[in-house]
Structure 1
């Protein structure tokens, strides 16, 4: 993963144009210490051709320094153009103090800042040592006050370390923002999966019931039975309920529990001509398990209606305080009506998240779906 490098003062890399303006403004303030070589020229300490070349060299250094600082690049991966400008900055930071001395020794300090903000830690440290050596060497050659040389050397070291820390901090900020964006992307993907899974569970059950009742209403209408009107009203009611449940699922507020799903499964199976027996044993279920088993009953009943062609279905729920089991057994065709499909996959994911297991397979006569979940289970357990 490439991380955009942030150099100099101001800006966090968000929005390249505003960031560059802020960085340029910050560096313009920071360049105030170049007043010392400027004063050498203005006050006449450097005169004649030396003043001309000094002014030209100083202008070239400032241009090279700013261009190096503002050139877009990836962290630790400078472009050839940036290397050229950094090389020019380095040469000028060595040559100009060598010829003019005095206040021109601020140039190696600025160059150290460039190294610290643009290079990886090891090359930046080597550059800092090189600029420190330049300060010491020129101080000895020009016979500067040892105290002044020590102060300049101290500035090279402290500013180099300081801006390396600033660079590292800003890299961490960029990485944090990228991590936040990745978390948001993953959360959005997970939410899409949740909605898709919930819609499958909801619509599969409701649409199966609507199809069955529509077929029944059609047959009754052909025979002139008055029950056709009642079945049509039931279809309308189921469709309206499905619409409400879809809205709730999309909003994330759907809280229909086991009792409601058992009633719905009984109604749907009986409408399909399947005799239903529901047996519940044990203490009341915890809220998390109540919702989980509600989803399981919905999925199991839907698949019995769709695939089993059963005449009898038994739903057993047992909760003994330590474990909870749900079994849905039918006397249908016996071939697996559950897989491979998104319904069983989604149910398996839900149960696995609660620390439970799902098993499904044919029996001597019919098919059985069994779910076992620890009493402490539940989504997110």
Structure 2
């Protein structure tokens, strides 16, 4: 049996493994059925027993596929997993005693499913049970000691292997959940920080506006000429507060390219993505530095969240032909894509600056985000 094939059987890093990957992997894993199939096709079994073995083989394969394809999370069997696993296990125990030593490979399939579907202690107990089935069945059917030893070794080896694979997948799922929780907490903390800053920024100005408005009202009732001065002070304070809010919001929403590249390196490194950054030409002007910083943030966020890539390249160039940014990964993208709100917002910003955004799958594989701003934009700025 191909171990790589069995890994594909339960492949994927999602909390619920991909059924299609499991189904594709079974095409490799079913190689062990060569032995019972050889008994049937060799002509050594004829008549009713041959038909019975064919029916038994079909029943086992159907039960095994149904067990593997039943919805489950790693280490947490689904509603139908245990009943189907029980049926598959029963057939793996009974068929070797009914049809001979060629069927002693069936416990290997049960071991693989148990190792991936059950908690650790239950999986260890199941693996020990399958070892006992091979030993007792081999003795009962008269199989030679070398065959029995090989089958026992494969049951133990594959059982330990797939328990390790399952534990790795569980850790990956938990890591993804932890990263999501960290992101949620960070977003909440950022909102609180912005709220505190805006409160500190506007608290004094709004309080002053209220006090001067009350004073202007009383002076107006008294007919004092000072009312007009107070109203002018109110206008001045309000304009200043508006300017400060705009500056604060601009500071929150725009960060420089160099800072965003540092953040991108940290984020991609944390996600296990190798990153290469290339800079060509002269430094970007301020008006493009903030825009490209925003583009890097959006592009890298998409790579971390959606690309499932192992490598990412970020290229920034600025010369007489204009400023260009390219973010390319080697993730398994295919076909057209649907732009999310982040890329749509980026496209609006770049178009407002006179540039263009192109995003989509690359012919050689992966995804590419391309931002181009003509040099004329900088001269106008």
Task: Indicate the residue corresponding to 1:12 in structure 2.
Answer: 13
Structure 1: any 5+ residue segments left out of the alignment?
1-5, 255-381
- 1:327-346 alignment, distance < 5 Å: none
Name the SS for the 2:14 alignment partner.
coil
- Shift of the alpha carbon at 1:84? 1.4
Per the alignment, do residues 249 and 46 of structure 1 end up closer, same or farther by CA in structure 2, a change over 3 Å counting?
farther
**In 2, Cα distance between equivalents of 1:35 and 1:230:** 98
TM norm structure 1: 0.59
**In 1, Cα distance between equivalents of 2:246 and 2:121:** 57
- 1:1-381 alignment, distance < 5 Å: 8-13=9-14, 19-74=18-73, 76-79=75-78, 81-222=80-221, 227-250=226-249, 253=252
C-alpha contact 1:132 1:153 (8 A) present in aligned 2:
yes
Structure 2: any 5+ residue segments left out of the alignment?
1-6, 254-381
C-alpha contact 1:8 1:117 (8 A) present in aligned 2:
no
**In 2, Cα distance between equivalents of 1:248 and 1:70:** 56
- Shift of the alpha carbon at 1:46? 2.6
**Structure with greater contact order relative to length (CA < 8 Å, sep ≥ 6):** 1
**In 2, Cα distance between equivalents of 1:87 and 1:7:** 23
- Shift of the alpha carbon at 1:62? 1.5
TM norm structure 2: 0.59
- Shift of the alpha carbon at 1:245? 3.0
- Shift of the alpha carbon at 1:89? 0.6
Post-superposition CA distance 1:244-292 (Å, at most 9, x none):
33344455659xxxxxxxxxxxxxxxxxxxxxxxxxxxxxxxxxxxxxx
C-alpha contact 2:198 2:245 (8 A) present in aligned 1:
yes
**In 1, Cα distance between equivalents of 2:238 and 2:50:** 90
State the Cα RMSD in Å. Answer: 2.7
- Shift of the alpha carbon at 1:135? 1.1
C-alpha contact 2:74 2:169 (8 A) present in aligned 1:
no
